[in-house]
Amino acid sequence: MTTALIFLLLVALLFVGMPVSIALGLTVLTVLFTLTDAPLSAVALKLFTGIESFELMCVPFFILAGNFMTHGGVARRMIRFATAMVGHWPGGLGLAAVVACAIFAALSGSSPATVVAVGSIMIPAMVARGYPKKFGAGVVASSGALGILIPPSIVMVLYSVATSGMAAIGPDGKRVHAASVDDLFMAGVVPGLVLATLLALTTVWLAWRRGYPAGARQPWSERLAAFVDCFWGLALIVIVMGGIYGGVFTPTEAAAVSAVYAFVVAVFIYGDLPLNAVPRVLLQSASMSAMLLYIITNAVLFTFLLTHEQIPQAMADWLIHQGFGPIAFLLVVNVILLVAGSIMEPASVTLILAPILFPVAAKLGIDPVHFGIIMVVNMEIGMITPPVGLNLYVASGISQLGLMTMSRAVVPWLATMVAFLMVVTFWPDLSLALPRWLGMH
């Protein structure tokens, strides 16, 4: 009964248009003080300790680094490099957009930021070269979703934070620990590259079938010049990922380093971001970080309520009693996440559902890192699924296409991503092989 009331109240508050963070907070406080015997001191203590997370500090730093890169001319240089390398293929500018999104995703950790940075340049360029606006907007909106799969990824950090400290028990009765940020970042590398390749192949196939133009093959001198021009931006990928896996610093320290490095590159090396514009970038980053951290704060209370009432454990026992195995459970989870991702943004879905689903997955013997990648891929698809696909709205604003037109434009790439989701779901080694090979997992 308590479980039903919790979810009915939460859904009702979300249905009337209440912000996710406030809906979470009101649901938790209402249930805690009316239907449970949880002491007020325990609630306050959990709230304080839940957000006192070293890993959580990397969220505002990665947001700040992404904003510096977005406003600092990095995207323009990466697009030049991608176009020089692959622009002569069928649908060359569309393929260059996919490559540019994949590279920028490794810098920003955010899908909407990737769409803005790449789309504001590539969509007008494709239209000028004779590509239909729908094609340009569709490829950028879809490829921009790579921003939360290719590390560093803010959604991966939130998944790790949301599940850390939970009392998850495996099928052998032993405790299952939540996935670390390091493991999730490394596990996202291969799936991210595979999905980028599949989106690129989809783009080339569509362009070849529809007869879209290809650019001239660039000489190696231009390719080298384009690489040198974007070298300082590409170096950030090496600094962050190499620093983490080389043992030089933690993901949080890497985020702080990336923010400082992005500031230096944007302001002093490239010079595309004047010093008087830095306060505006800081304010935008602070606003976005505050929004996320407020959701996280209320999600911590939500997790405390679930744990106090032992709801995830009860769900796991019930599913096993009903005969659900890992395959059936993962199919159901994908449906739930796809629906939730189409009506809420990824951070909210992750913070609400990860604490519920993670203990069930652990009970069924599903690896926490593998399950985290499954959630992230579902969130990617949600970014281009109406009615609340954030990438659709961002690309719509850039291209001036309606939401329904945008929804139809992304269908070929959406089908590719759904097929890829099935592969990731039922082929764990795609996510786990690299961390295991490096001895991290």
CB of 126 within 8 A of CB of 215?
no
End-to-end CA distance of the chain: 39
- Model pLDDT, residue 419: 96
pLDDT, one tens digit per residue, over 201-251 is: 999 999 888 888 877 788 989 999 999 988 988 888 888 878 877 778 888
Q: pLDDT exceeding 70 applies to what percent of the chain?
A: 98
- Model pLDDT, residue 398: 85
Average pLDDT over residues 91-118: 84
Q: Is residue 412 predicted with pLDDT exceeding 90?
A: yes
pLDDT, one tens digit per residue, over 327-385 is: 988 998 999 888 888 877 788 888 888 888 898 898 888 999 999 999 999 999 988 88
Q: Is residue 1 predicted with pLDDT exceeding 70?
A: no
Average pLDDT over residues 244-261: 85
Match 């590259």 to its residue by tokens.
Answer: 193
Read off the pLDDT band of 140 (50, 70, 90): very high
Q: Which residues touch 15 (CB under 8 Å, ≥6 apart)?
A: none
Measured at the CA of 68, the angle between CA 62 and CA 71, to 5 degrees, comes to: 135
- Model pLDDT, residue 283: 93
The sign of the dihedral angle between the CA atoms of 144, 146, 152, 157 is positive
Alpha-carbon separation of residue 328 from 312, 337, 338, 354 (angstroms):
17, 14, 16, 18
Q: Is residue 187 predicted with pLDDT exceeding 90?
A: yes
Torsional class of 211: left (φ above 0), alpha (ψ -120 to 50), beta (otherwise):
left
Average pLDDT over residues 186-193: 93
| Distance from C-alpha of 147 to C-alpha of 149, rounded to nearest angstrom | 6
Measured at the CA of 324, the angle between CA 418 and CA 308, to 5 degrees, comes to: 95
Least confident residue range of 5-19, 56-70, 263-277, 413-427: 5-19
CB of 273 within 8 A of CB of 266?
yes
CB of 152 within 8 A of CB of 64?
no
| Distance from C-alpha of 164 to C-alpha of 297, rounded to nearest angstrom | 14
Mean residue pLDDT of the chain comes to 85
Backbone angles phi, psi at 168, to 5 degrees: -90, 135
List the chain domain ranges. 19-29+40-437
- Model pLDDT, residue 202: 94
HEC assignment per residue over the chain: CHHHHHHHHHHHHHHCCCCHHHHHHHHHHHHHHHHCCCCHHHHHHHHHHHHCCCHHHHHHHHHHHHHHHHHCCHHHHHHHHHHHHHCCCCCHHHHHHHHHHHHHHHHHCCHHHHHHHHHHHHHHHHHHCCCCHHHHHHHHHHHHHHHHCCCCCHHHHHHHHHHCCCCEECCCCCEECCCCHHHHHHHCHHHHHHHHHHHHHHHHHHHHHHCCCCCCCCCHHHHHHHHHHCHHHHHHHHHHHHHHHCCCCCHHHHHHHHHHHHHHHHHHHCCCCCHHHHHHHHHHHHHHHHHHHHHHHHHHHHHHHHHHCCHHHHHHHHHHHCCCCHHHHHHHHHHHHHHHHHHCCHHHHHHHHHHHHHHHHHHCCCCHHHHHHHHHHHHHHHCCCCCCCHHHHHHHHHHCCCHHHHHHHCHHHHHHHHHHHHHHHHCCHHHHHHHHHCCCC
Paired strand residues for 169: 175
Average pLDDT over residues 157-184: 83
